[in-house]
Amino acid sequence: MTTDDALFSAIGRVVVLVDDADEALAFYRDVLGFAVLHDYVAGGYRFLHIGLPGQEGVGLWLMPITSARQRELVGRQTGGQPLLVLYTADLDVVAKRLREHGVRVWDEREDPDSRSLHFADLYGNVIVVAQLLAA
């Protein structure tokens, strides 16, 4: 299938279940540098979409839980696998910022083509940060 034949043109939002949208927004915005793309209430439900500056078409939908079943999935909706991978030009700067904010960082590694680390958001969702190395 070529690009012209593709069924979809882009990925829009990935859902992240959260207990408290404002608390989650503070973490993703103030610690990780995400920006608010859309934040409005319709039909009594809050639509809070965040993303990285410069990539406004792709992001996360911080979705407040609405049931006991969803509460059980907060922080575990990917079964312990990473929720997402973020790329950076400087892994050292990211690691320092995370630590300054009390975020636990682990599995720091260097492979032939990248450096990476793992950390968890405030609910325990695992996020990988990778710095691609020049070939």
Q: For residues 33-41, give the mean pLDDT.
A: 95
pTM: 0.91
Buried b / exposed e along 86-103 (16+ C-beta atoms within 10 A):
bebeebeebbeebeeeeb
Tokens coding 39: 């934040």
What's the CA gap between 89 and 69, in Å, rounded? 38
Per-residue pLDDT at 2: 65
Q: Enumerate the CATH 3.10.180.10 domain ranges in the chain, comma separated.
A: 1-74, 77-135
- Classify domain 1-74 at the CATH class level: alpha beta
Fold of the CATH domain 77-135: 2,3-Dihydroxybiphenyl 1,2-Dioxygenase; domain 1 (3.10.180)
Q: For residues 85-106, give the mean pLDDT.
A: 97
